[in-house]
Structure 1
Amino acid sequence: MEMKVSTRTEQILTVLKILAWVAFFGFAVSAVLFLSSYISGFWNSINIFDIKEDPNLLQLRQENSGLYTILMAFSFIMALLKAIVWWMVAKIIDKIKIDNPFSIEVVHQLEYISYSLFTIWVLSVTGGGFIAWLGEKAGTLNDSWNKGPFLFMAGLVFVISQIFKRGVEIQSENDLTV
Structure 2
Amino acid sequence: MSTKSTYILKFLNVMSWIAFIGLCVKAGALLASYGVSMFINEVGAKNLALGLDLSGIKAYDQIDYSIMVFCLTVITILEALVFYSVIQIFLKINFVSPFHETIGKLIQKMSGFSLLVGIFSNITVSYSEKFTAMGIQLPNLMEHIGLGDAFLFFAGILYFISQLFAKGIELQKESELTI
Q: TM-score, normalised by structure 1?
A: 0.89
Cα RMSD of the aligned pairs, angstroms, is 1.9
Give matches, 1:8-157, under 5 Å: 8-41=4-37, 42-47=39-44, 49-50=47-48, 53-55=51-53, 57-137=54-134, 139-142=136-139, 143-144=141-142, 145=145, 146-157=147-158
Q: Which has the larger radius of gyration?
A: 1
Please give the alpha-carbon distance, in whole angstroms, between the structure 2 residues aligned to 1:33 and 1:26: 10
Conserved 8 A contact 1:17-1:93: yes
Conserved 8 A contact 2:33-2:49: no
Q: TM-score, normalised by structure 2?
A: 0.89
Shift of 1:94: 1.1
Please give the alpha-carbon distance, in whole angstroms, between the structure 2 residues aligned to 1:21 and 1:117: 17
Shift of 1:152: 1.0
Unpaired runs of at least 5, structure 1: none
Please give the alpha-carbon distance, in whole angstroms, between the structure 2 residues aligned to 1:86 and 1:135: 31
1:172 matched to which residue of 2?
A: 173
Please give the alpha-carbon distance, in whole angstroms, between the structure 1 residues aligned to 2:32 and 2:164: 41
Work out the number of aligned pairs and report it.
173
Please give the alpha-carbon distance, in whole angstroms, between the structure 2 residues aligned to 1:61 and 1:15: 41
Shift of 1:134: 2.3
Unpaired runs of at least 5, structure 2: none
**Which amino acid is the alignment partner of residue 73 of structure 1?**
F
Conserved 8 A contact 2:56-2:138: no
Conserved 8 A contact 1:51-1:58: no
